[in-house]
Structure 1
Amino acid sequence: MAAPAPLAALGDPDPAFADLIAGRPHLSAHARDGLMVEEVPLARIAAEVGTPAWVYSAGSLRRRARALTGALAAAGLDASVHYAMKANDSLAVLALLHREGLGADVVSEGELRIARAAGIPAAGIVFSGVGKSERELRLALAEDIFQINAESAEEIAMISAIASALGRTARVALRVNPDVDAKTHAKITTGRAENKFGVGIDDALKLYRRMASLPGIAPVGVATHIGSQITAGVGAYRAAYARLAELVRAIRAEGLPILRIDCGGGLGIPYRDEPAPMPEALAGAIKATLGDLGLPVMLEPGRWIAGPAGLLLASVVIEKIGAQRRFVVADAAMNDLARPAMYDAWHGILPVAPDALVAPIAPADVVGPVCETGDTFARGRALPPLPAGSLIAFLDAGAYGATMSSTYNARPLAPEVLVDGTRFAVVRERQSLEALLHGQRVPEWLRE
């Protein structure tokens, strides 16, 4: 499926609860304890931590990181993986992935500092993004990170000037826009000519040549990233990487240095029941198009690793039965999980109680308490009766969940919990109401 499934009912029936659980190895349904993450009942987490709360499976994160690195190794690729932490920037998640041998792909000063705080060495960090500030570039150079991905001629000149003034040499890769349509949602495609990212493929050789002539810059390679949540096979990857391969050969023909190829990320996941390419298919596409160049490759996945590993645990505030619609009003809202409101994205919704998992089902709209009609998670979703206090879980919320949340309607940020086997820990506390006021002040003239 090319884009996130819409909120409206789709042509085919939604997956059954049992199918949603079976497709996620870290989930199970216990006859007494109900829905479990690994070996911890979600009801126990709700009782101790409250709702809404983000819950991540350490086992799932490890499995997925190992599946990706294993697929690359099995294909005979000299590859490194730099996790795109915009998907989930939890310090605990980053520390866990660092222990699995992953570096980080960052897009801001904040992300760079969090990655370093998580123990990721500067030599494992790539800085991407179309609008890096002078302050951010100075920090990247001071930290001596592995690579900066430059996205324009103007940025290349900026990096050269800053590095020269600091007496440093920046390792820079040129991000290329291959003008390839990844067939994903319009708001998360990044590899087409009209997108803001990278330099045009036809201008890339000239800019690489220019970059090699500037002081303070050591050109190290080329990079691309064609979009996020790519599920329509690996054809778009093959097309983009084939264009990169042509560029690499042209760079070499001019005797210019090139040390590696950054293949980006974007590998999609099945939120509903749509097919999605596996790491083995992506590794095969890289091998087929770039394998004969003899260069190391880099990948920057985010969603594929973190998405299925997380869920948003919520409580039902009220079940509102109208003349035409049944509304399940949760204590989670669009400020917590923005994807349904922003992208019309589909997320599986499971009841947590054991009896609710096998009870009769009927259509319901699942909504939040925010004062927006767009604060809707699902329409016409088949769910059992869910009286006030019932627990529900929004699945596959480990990526672009907590990182995209806000305090809209003065709602504090939800806590984050990491489950590892039989144990769990709060890895980010629930934001206090006092913290919402921190830093605010009323000017003196309004106090008179």
Structure 2
Amino acid sequence: MTSTGFDYRAGVLHAEEVPLPTIASAVGTPTYVYCANTIRHRFHQLDQAFHGVPHHIHFAVKANSNLSILSLLRSLGAGVDIVSGGELYRALAAGFHGRDVVFSGVGKTVHEIAQALNAGVQLINIESEAELVTVNAVAERLGVIAPIAIRVNPEVTVDTPHAYIKTGEKGQKFGIPRDDVSRLVACLPDLPNVQLRGLGMHLGSQIGNADPLRDALPRLLSALEQARAAGQPIAFLDVGGGLSVPYEAHETEADIDDYARIVRAAALDTGLTLLLEPGRFLVAEAGVLLTEVLYRKHAAGKDFVVTDAGMNDLIRPALYQAYHAIDPVVITDGAVVADIVGPICESGDFFAKDRAVPDVQAGALLAVRTAGAYGFSMASNYNSRARPAEVLVDGEQFAVVGVRESQEDLVRLERAPLHWRTA
């Protein structure tokens, strides 16, 4: 297994060259810690797999939208895949240009579509006929031609760890059913302010083998043939993301070579520029959630390890029943079977259930692994808790890239006294 950047040295867990206790002492806990070199390695690994094929990697911003992470990926040559106007704002703030942006999502507002067109995005992914009509109307009002792609739902069976991360099966809200693509293409001559520039798909997340891709690609290529036969100037073939990363010890990394072998062949046959949209693959293993043990508790025959991080900081275990490895920052003798829980007033506030863990005591530090994707980006202020800090490590140096919220931040946008208005 490839190193994630987090390794023990003399019994102490380090992020690259920096001991995690040093970060905890300087910044406090809970804190997300990211390794820059792991992100670089993952990007280059994927980029090299498609050497010789015209391609562009668009990072899925929803996985981790921190400006410094985005800037790092921009410096490597990445573009971005966004799903909201807010993510577009972040991308532009991180130095990306409109031409670096693919805009996905089933519910784009008129304001977001205008924002995207004014920024000159590379593609707007169309996910319904109604959206197609709306994009044309907004583009007409702005006096521009909207570059669009049709997101095809190939309707293939996808084996993922949780139903919520499947997006390419029949009955999902995402994309255009493959049998409806030709009908949308037939509408295009009546919509003069859109131009079809690409076709794409996204099967879901945590796809562990290439079998769904083998099933889906012919369906995407069939839709491409229909669009080309209708005279559409297709330039891009977008195969989405979804490459899996291991969360548990028995899981293996995505087989990039097998994935690339299948996709390369299809892309070369079409002669189009290939678009890839990885998110989790680039950043998940590059991050941990650093948390301190507050208390040990024994109740009703169970042991509990209570931490200062909660489900508001990392909701994946509660939302997806996701497994995250949890390691002591300083190696500790002994073990105990315990629930690792947070301070939130919810029974769903846990990171592990009945887990064999080191016999850590109050004051010890724990690292919740594989937390660089869908960790901070899904964090909330539930229970009026401030969101954690974020730190980026690069070799021997580290920097705070996300300041811990204060309690004043919790009410900063609220108003008292009220300024009443009348109808």
The question of a shared fold, defined as TM-score above 0.5 by the shorter chain, is answered with yes
Aligned to 1:244, the other structure's residue is in SS state helix
Q: What displacement does 1:422 show?
A: 0.3
Does the 8 Å CA contact 1:241/1:290 hold for their aligned counterparts? no
Superposed counterparts of 1:83-98, under 5 Å: 83-98=59-74
Q: Return the match for 2:43 from 51, 65, 85.
A: 65
| Aligned residues of 1:85 and 1:104 also touching (Cα < 8 A) | yes
Confirm whether residue 53 of structure 1 aligns to residue 27 of structure 2.
no
Residues 1:254 and 2:195 aligned together? no
Aligned residue number for residue 7 of structure 2: 28
Separation of aligned partners in 2, 1:104 and 1:28: 30
Alignment correspondent of 2:158: 182
Question: Aligned residues, how many?
Answer: 418
Contact 2:53/2:267 (CA < 8 Å) preserved in 1?
no
Provide the secondary structure at the position in 1 that maps to 2:223: helix
SS at match of 2:272: coil
C-alpha displacement of 1:297? 0.9
Tell me the residue number matched to 2:390. Answer: 416
1:373 equivalent to 2:344? Answer no
Cα distance change on mapping 1:334 and 1:383 into 2, 3 Å: same
**Which AA in structure 1 matches 2:155?**
D
- Compare 306-315 and 249-258 and name the one that shifted more: 249-258
How far does residue 343 in structure 1 lie from its aligned partner after superposition?
A: 0.4
Identity between Structure 1 and Structure 2 (%): 44
1:270 maps to amino acid: P
Return closer, same or farther for 1:212/1:101 CA change in 2, 3 Å cut-off: farther
SS in 1 for 2:139: helix
Unpaired segments of 5 or more residues in structure 2? Answer: none
Asked whether the equivalents of residues 51 and 414 of structure 1 are also in contact (C-alpha less than 8 Å), the reply is: yes
SS in 2 for 1:193: coil
Larger mean Cα displacement after TM superposition, 316-325 or 130-139: 316-325
In 2: Cα distance, 1:179 partner to 1:363 partner: 42
Q: Rate the CA distance shift 1:314–1:250 in 2: closer, same or farther, 3 A.
A: same
CA distance in 1, matches of 2:17, 2:419: 57
Task: Give the distance between the partners of 1:170 and 1:279, measured in 2 at CA.
Answer: 34
Superposed counterparts of 1:15-164, under 5 Å: 24-31=3-10, 34-73=12-51, 76-164=52-140
Deviation at 1:250, TM superposition (A): 2.1
Give the aligned partner of residue 199 of structure 1.
Answer: 176
Over 3 Å counting, the alpha-carbon distance change for 1:37 and 1:445 in structure 2 is: closer
DSSP-derived class of the 1:308 partner: helix
Residues 279-319 of structure 1: per-residue CA shift (max 9 Å, x gap): 22221121233431111110111000010000100000001
Question: C-alpha offsets along residues 301-341 of structure 1, whole Å, 9 cap, x if unaligned?
Answer: 10000100001000000011234111000000000000000
Q: Distance in 2 between matches of 1:244 and 1:390?
A: 51
> Greater CA deviation, 117-126 or 38-47?
117-126
Deviation of 1:122 after TM superposition, in Å, equals 1.1
Residue in structure 2 matched with residue 230 of structure 1 by the alignment: 207
Displacement of 1:445 = 10
Letter of the 1:405 counterpart: A
- Residue 428 (structure 1) aligns with: 402
**TM-score, structure 2 as length reference:** 0.96
Q: Distance in 2 between matches of 1:50 and 1:276?
A: 32
CA deviation after TM superposition for structure 1 residue 256, in Å: 2.5
* Residues in 2 aligned to 1:275 and 1:283: alpha-carbon distance in whole angstroms: 17
> What is residue 220 of structure 2 aligned with on the other side?
244
Shift of 1:443: 4.7
Shift of 1:26: 0.6
Q: Please give the per-residue CA displacement for 1:27-86, whole angstroms capped at 9, x wherever unaligned.
A: 111216x1001000000000000000000000101000110111111xx32111100010
Q: Note if contact 1:176-1:198 (Cα within 8 Å) is conserved in structure 2.
A: yes
1:383 aligns with 2:360: no
Q: Give 2:392's aligned amino acid.
A: L
8 Å Cα contact 1:84-1:302 kept in structure 2:
yes
Gap change, CA 1:282 and 1:445, over 3 Å in 2: closer
User: Does structure 2 retain, via aligned residues, the 8 Å contact 1:245–1:290?
Assistant: no
Question: Deviation digits for residues 328-366 of structure 1, max 9, x if unmatched?
Answer: 000000000000000000001000114x1xx12221110
271, 282, 287: which is aligned to 1:294? Answer: 271
CA displacement, residues 163-198 of structure 1 (integer Å, 9 cap, x when unaligned):
011101110001111101221121111111210011
Q: Check whether the contact 2:185–2:230 (CA below 8 A) recurs between aligned residues.
A: no
Give the TM-score, by structure 1 length: 0.91
Gaps of 5+ in 1: 1-21
**Cα gap change, 1:215 to 1:445, in 2 (>3 Å):** closer
- 1-structure distance, mates of 2:358, 2:174: 45
Is 2:135–2:194's contact at 8 Å kept on the other side of the alignment?
A: yes
Report the equivalent of 2:187: 210
State the alpha-carbon separation in 2 of the partners of residues 444 and 343 from structure 1: 39
